[in-house]
Amino acid sequence: MKIGFIGLGNMGGPMAANLAKAGHEVVGFDLAAPAPDGVAMAASGAEAAAGAEAVITMLPNGAILRSVADEIIPAMASGILFVDCSTVDVESARSVADQAVAADLAPVDAPVSGGITGAAAGTLTFMAGGPDAAFARAEPLFDIMGQKAVHCGPSGNGQAAKICNNMILGATMIATCEAFALADKLGLERQSMFDVVSTSSGYSWTMNAYCPAPGVGPQSPADNGYKPGFASELMLKDLRLSQQAAEAVDADTPMGARATELYAQFVENEDGLGTDFSAMLPRFETRSRN
Ligand code: NAD
């Protein structure tokens, strides 16, 4: 298949390389990033999209997605598959999908989880929104770039699933970190804390699979000086998207709101920028109640 791939950064680069490695003809475009292995570069987004049977975008945010969509949609032939894998606000995802349908394209919003390592290993999870037929056409590409794809309903629902998941993730990481910091002050060994919680009702992915305490539980960014992993600023981005969505539909999300405030404080006013999102634990360690 001839695939146009726009946005070849930390995630898009290895995803495009995996498609090329699987035998697809991939033509890429990025404002700054270098050509991934096996990918030919075009001079513009429109050039990468023209003549492609499928176009994939992996961009930083909704505003950039909208401007790239304005540029590439007129260049795409009728019936072409348009898969956006960026994490963006639900409104931008739905608006771009409407624009694509009006141009007789087949849109899928398919944000991912699994991070940079998942992108490189081809083990991402895709959460997808869009028409059934478009999802069915995108599935073979998801199989190359990932290990699982869930069709969550109509356009925008992939983004909705992603931000709900990450709102849980952010709030749970904070809860896990503050509990470790409390346990420290109560004189509980971290290993004991892990052994109990990871097999009790407080267990979670953040405790069991991504433990924020160094030397405890499976290997995680905590064992590597809190180098990301999943950076705190990306967690903040997703939490903000969750609150933007919650405001749009008048949903009451007090834990999500508080998690957003805490990550904003951590990234913008403390030393959280560039650290893994589990570095909330050393943050709590150094704090008192006031
Ligand atoms: P990145 O900043 O490394 O890559 C984005 C790329 O888009 C950059 O190379 C940039 O030059 C390019 N770009 C920006 N504007 C462009 C334009 N108009 N035309 C062409 N290229 C343009 O970001 P990333 O880490 O690859 O993340 C991409 C998306 O994936 C984001 O929406 C992010 O939230 C999401 N995501 C990231 C991770 C992660 O761990 N990095 C995990 C899950 C989801």
Q: How far is residue 49's CA from residue 72's CA, in Å, rounded to a whole number?
A: 6
* pLDDT at position 23: 98
Model pLDDT for residues 237-268, shown as the tens digit of each residue: 999 999 999 999 999 999 999 999 999 999 99
What is each CA distance from 110 to 20, 127, 209, 222, 286, in whole angstroms? 19, 5, 24, 29, 39
Q: How far is residue 65's CA from residue 82's CA, in Å, rounded to a whole number?
A: 12
Cross-strand partners of 126: 112, 149
> Mean pLDDT over all residues of the chain?
97
| Ligand 1 atom 39 nearest Cα | 115
Q: How many Cα atoms sit within 13 Å of 184 on the Cβ side?
A: 14
Q: How far is the CA of 197 from the centre of ligand 1 (A)?
A: 35
* 237 given a catalytic annotation: no
Average pLDDT over residues 69-89: 97
Residues 6+ apart with CB under 8 A from 282: 226
Q: How far is the CA of 58 from the centre of ligand 1 (A)?
A: 6
Is residue 281 within 8 A of residue 184, CB to CB? The reply is no
- Closest by alpha carbon to 3, among 255, 36, 124? 36
* pLDDT at position 101: 98
* pLDDT at position 29: 98
Q: How far is the CA of 173 from the centre of ligand 1 (A)?
A: 24
| Ligand 1 atom 13 nearest Cα | 7
Q: How far is residue 54's CA from residue 119's CA, in Å, rounded to a whole number?
A: 19
Q: Find the residues whose C-beta lies inside 6 A of ligand 1.
A: 6-12, 29-33, 45, 58-60, 64, 68, 86-87, 112, 115-116, 230, 234, 237
Model pLDDT for residues 37-71, shown as the tens digit of each residue: 999 999 999 999 999 999 999 999 999 999 999 99
Q: How far is residue 8's CA from residue 5's CA, in Å, rounded to a whole number?
A: 7
Nearest atom in ligand 1 to the alpha carbon of residue 32 is 11
Average pLDDT over residues 154-182: 98
* pLDDT at position 290: 80
Residues 6+ apart with CB under 8 A from 32: none
Cross-strand partners of 84: 57, 109
* pLDDT at position 115: 87
Is the per-residue pLDDT at 3 higher than 90? yes
Q: Which two tokens stand for residue 204?
A: 């979670």
Is the per-residue pLDDT at 170 higher than 90? yes
- Closest by alpha carbon to 116, among 17, 41, 32? 17
Q: How far is residue 57's CA from residue 60's CA, in Å, rounded to a whole number?
A: 10
pLDDT tier, 4 (very low <50, low <70, confident <90, very high otherwise): very high
pLDDT tier, 117 (very low <50, low <70, confident <90, very high otherwise): confident
Q: How far is residue 81's CA from residue 198's CA, in Å, rounded to a whole number?
A: 43
Q: Which of 2, 21, 162, 185 is catalytic?
A: 162
Q: In angstroms, how far is the first alpha carbon of the chain from the final one?
A: 59
- Closest by alpha carbon to 7, among 43, 50, 60? 60
Average pLDDT over residues 166-188: 98
DSSP per position, 197-257: HTTSTT--HHHHTS-SSTTSSS--GGGGTT--SSBHHHHHHHHHHHHHHHHHHT---HHHH
Q: Which long-range contacts (CB under 8 A, 24 or more apart) does 14-17 make?
A: 14/116, 14/119, 14/120, 15/56, 15/58, 15/85, 15/119, 15/124, 15/145, 16/56
* pLDDT at position 37: 97
Average pLDDT over residues 75-79: 96
Residue of 6, 29, 30 with the most ligand 1 atoms within 8 Å of its CB, for mutation: 30
Q: At what angle do helices 254-268 and 157-185 cross, to 10 degrees?
A: 70
